[in-house]
Amino acid sequence: MGVRIAVPREIFPGERRVALDPGMAARFAQLGAEVLFQRGAGAGAHFPDAAYQEWVRLVEQPPLAEAEVLLKVQPPTPEEAGQLREGAVLVGFLQPHRHLEMVRLLRDRKVTSFAMELVPRISRAQSMDALSSQASISGYKAALMAAELSSVFFPMLTTAAGTVRPAKVVVIGAGVAGLQAIATARRLGAQVEAYDIRPAAKEQVESLGARLIDTGVKAEGSGGYARELTAEELGIQTEVLARHIALADAVISTAAIPGRAAPRIVSAAMVEAMKPGAVIVDLAAESGGNCELTRPGETLVHQDVIIHGPLNVPSLIPVHATEMYARNLFNFLSPMISDGRLELNWEDEVIARSVLTHAGEVRHEPTLKLLETES
């Protein structure tokens, strides 16, 4: 038999995705892999067992101790990680900075773990970029949430009883999620302004029919993300942004720095200057929120402004989030499978840069530093 891949049901509360969809199950089978798929694991994403059964072995409980590869969406639980054997390969969103105990466990058990969030943003790895695929879903969904929570119409509406003007939407952060939020709000007919500290954002924002708010602050960072701002830069940013936010019907904030707390961009004072009934959808809630008042996982009303801090947004569109994530995983893993066997080529930049633990070592520098700081 070929490489044995285990895919368990995700047990993180509210997680509806799964690491394998029926389409990629077929692709792994074609590569000669033996996939052990937990019964019902696709149910949250509306994929019934019957859609998988031609390609996988359906099992009540995947025997993780026998798996060569474990495919996950969320980080493994200590129980899952504790069953993996030496040399086993784990692939998933591992969020190492939040799960140091898991990192130690994976290191000590000599598991080779790859964190999908570490896949380098190089052209060749675009098809493996799960952060981007899931962020595009989050951005779309954030715009829908803003429209759903809004007390106003997003599109212009011309009726016999007068004209409704289009809503004004401000999108903060024009990364993958932000651009998709802009595109979706524009589709819905809103007037969209976007803010990003990376000058490169301007062209992309404008290509979507939105306008870039210019604060004069530029802060291009590495890997396509922004760097942190100085105090003076923050002051300028705040002043200009506050004026635009005060006029907005909805604000969608998406500014995140990987592995770090989200930057605080929208202050309580800025919220209090907003229109009655205005909405903030804070996609950065997962890492603390871009708005000072956001409570992750909650929807609250502050002085007649609705502040929504959703968590795990991609899981809310589980069919396509699963399909795209599973394809990212397949594109990442399949080059390592030849003649049905797993072979890791450490010369490969993608493999070398995505690894979290291997052969009893933590290979990701920032995580290693965090572990040293902690102990």
The residues annotated with a catalytic role in the active site are 121, 126, 129, 132, 225
Distance CA 267, CA 285 (A): 14
Residue 222: count other Cβ atoms within 10 Å of its Cβ: 8
Cβ burial, residue 259 (10 Å; 0-12/13-18/19+): middle
What letter would DSSP give residue 162? E
**Structure tokens belonging to residue 28:** 């792994």
Question: Looking at beta carbons only, is 97 or 353 nearer to a copy of itself?
Answer: 353
Distance CA 363, CA 367 (A): 8
Closest among 143, 369, 352, 133 to 251, alpha carbons compared: 143
Least Cβ distance, residue 113 to a copy of itself (angstroms)? 21
Closest among 317, 304, 254 to 283, alpha carbons compared: 254
Question: Looking at beta carbons only, is 25 or 67 nearer to a copy of itself?
Answer: 25
Least Cβ distance, residue 10 to a copy of itself (angstroms)? 15
Quote the distance between the C-alpha of residue 335 and its chain's center. Answer: 24
Footprint of a copy of itself (CB under 8 A): 16, 45-48, 126-130, 132-133, 136-137, 140, 144-145, 147-148, 150-153, 155, 157, 159-162, 164, 184, 187-189, 275-277, 304, 317-320, 323-324, 327-328, 331
Closest among 208, 220, 212 to 143, alpha carbons compared: 208
Least Cβ distance, residue 22 to a copy of itself (angstroms)? 12
Element counts in the chain: helices (H) and strands (E): 12, 19
